[in-house]
Amino acid sequence: MDKNDMILISVDDHIIEPPDMFTNHLPAKYAAEAPRLVRTDNGADVWKFRDTVIPNVALNAVAGRPKEEYGLEPDGLDEIRPGCFDVHERIKDMNAGGVLASMNFPSFPGFAGRLFATEDSDFSLALVRAYNDWHIDEWCGAYPGRFIPMALPVIWDAELCAAEVRRVADKGVHSLTFSENPAALGYPSFHDPFWNPLWKALVDTDTVLNVHIGSSGRLSIPAVDSPPDVMITLQPMNIVQAAADLLWSRPVKDYPDLKIALSEGGTGWIPYFLERVDRTFEMHSTWTMQDFGGKVPSEVFRDHFMTCFISDPIGVRLRHEIGIDNIMWEMDYPHSDSMWPDAPEVLEQVLGREQVPDDEIDKMTHLNAMRWYSFDPFQHIPREQATVGALRAAAADHDVSVQARKHKNSTSEDKLEAFAAQIKAATAQNAG
């Protein structure tokens, strides 16, 4: 398939939230306590919520910037591409990159919204609802058919979380971001019946549980003196543990229609994983008392799980070992793994090398996502205007050139020092 004929839906991109996001949606009595974006003395913009400070880490917003500016030091909004936080500019960036639609994970509240969990449940719930309403009504609502809306969970209360899933489902939302390991956040694990109201709400509303790498706040942490490359290499490995935890859990057995997406975990590891879970079942199920109703774990995985890839040539080569109906594509804009704005070129090369037929390309690039998330962009956008070629033609004058944006150039030593500080903080958190 020619790249210009592809239709691309990305199921994993990210928002750098704008400073006015709570203005229209948080009850007035909580306005003074809302998280706020403040400028630090060094020119970085950070979110402050009570005693917590969350910076815009540079690696999270490097689209359109030279690799020399990559790093973990905080940035100001004026140092990152406007498409990171301005929905109108995001659409221009999507058009220029040939991307029809996008699902956007949160940034400063954490992937599971854990920042909003306070001692005051009413205030916390108001924050979650305000975020969700801003995301649904303002961000996604600004351009119907261009975004798959996603909701934050009420992570501290399963009943309230179920109610929020039902509330946003009435607004057309079929995607919930969640933790890959809620126990790491201090909540019951996937194996605890505490979450049963949530599983039922997800199934009743045909909503997908999305577990994103890092959503537990505990990435695989290397030794303090390891180079950054070790942590970056290990990042997708967290999703393997989450996949195993969920596959062997009760919800997968008790809720046959439960749908789970493994976000930003890649696909190349899955064939071995499926071999391993089947072997584990064969050798140990008689004493561990595992029962999948006559199926083997690999079959159950394909019934319940969707995976996604950025380029992943090995995963594309092994797509039938994974399941062609279980693979979606992601762009990861504006993170450092993103292929934007050249995703169509990279995909064309990877898919062409493996001689992937057009019907399978369509499944991986958009049809699986549309089916999984109950999302139909063609209600709003004619199919002929949704292709890579058509979208790029509509953005022919949009500047996608690589531009330096950093106010102050950090040395390699500065970047490594910032990385070491992050590892030290993460190690202390894990120890706690």
DSSP string, 203-250: HHHTPEEEEETTTTS-PPP--TTS-HHHHHHHGGGHHHHHHHHHHTSH
How many angstroms separate the CA atoms of 340 and 96, rounded? 9
Taking each helix axis from N to C end, the angle separating 196-205 and 158-169, rounded to the nearest 10 degrees, works out to 10
pLDDT of amino acid 428: 45
CA-to-CA dists, residue 333 to 20, 62, 100, 177, 406, angstroms: 21, 9, 13, 17, 19
Q: Do 136 and 142 form a contact (C-beta atoms < 8 A)?
A: no
Contact 134, 123 (CB under 8 A): no
Residue 431's pLDDT is 41
Report residue 374 as tokens: 């109950």
Q: What is the CA radius of gyration of the chain?
A: 21
- Residue range of the domain that includes 253: 3-431
> Which residues are CB-contacts of 178 (< 8 A; sequence separation ≥ 6)?
111, 112, 153, 155, 209, 210, 211, 215
The CA distance from 150 to 168, in Å, is: 9
The CA distances from residue 364 to 70, 76, 271, 285, in Å, are: 30, 35, 17, 33
Give per-residue burial for 26-54: e unless 16+ CB within 10 Å, then b: beeeeeeebbebeeeeeebbbbebeeeeb
Query: Strand 45-49 and strand 36-39: pairing?
Result: antiparallel
Amino acid at 205: T
Number of domains in the chain: 1
Residues pairing with 104 in the sheet: 13
CA distance 113 to 157: 12
Separation between Cα atoms, residue 350 and residue 356, nearest integer Å: 9
Mark out the alpha helices in 256-400 (DSSP H runs): 270-288, 297-304, 313-317, 319-322, 343-353, 358-362, 368-372, 388-394
- Taking the C-alpha atoms of residue 394 and residue 220, their distance in angstroms, rounded to an integer, is 42
Q: What is the pLDDT along the chain (432 residues), one digit of tens a residue?
A: 999 999 999 999 999 999 999 999 999 999 999 999 999 988 889 999 999 998 876 567 889 988 888 876 778 899 999 999 999 999 999 999 999 999 999 999 999 999 999 999 999 999 999 999 999 999 999 999 999 999 999 999 999 999 999 999 999 999 999 999 999 899 999 999 999 999 999 999 999 999 998 777 655 555 556 787 887 777 777 789 999 999 999 999 999 999 999 999 999 999 999 999 999 999 999 999 999 999 999 999 999 999 999 999 999 999 999 999 999 999 999 998 899 999 999 999 999 999 999 999 999 999 999 999 999 999 999 999 999 999 999 999 999 999 888 776 666 666 556 655 555 554 444 444
The pairing of strands 175-178 and 36-39 is: unpaired
Retrieve residue 15's tokens. 């928002």
143, 225, 209: which is closest to 173 by C-alpha?
A: 209
Q: Which amino acid is at 251?
A: P
Say what the pLDDT of residue 73 is: 72
320 token code pair: 């039938």
Q: Judge whether 336 and 59 are in contact, CB under 8 Å.
A: yes
Which is nearest to 100 in space by CA: 312, 349, 381?
381
pLDDT reported for residue 429: 44
| Amino acid found at 143 | Y
How far apart are alpha carbons 356 and 371 in whole angstroms? 20
Give the CATH number, domain containing residue 386.
Answer: 3.20.20.140
Token couple for 360: 């399978």
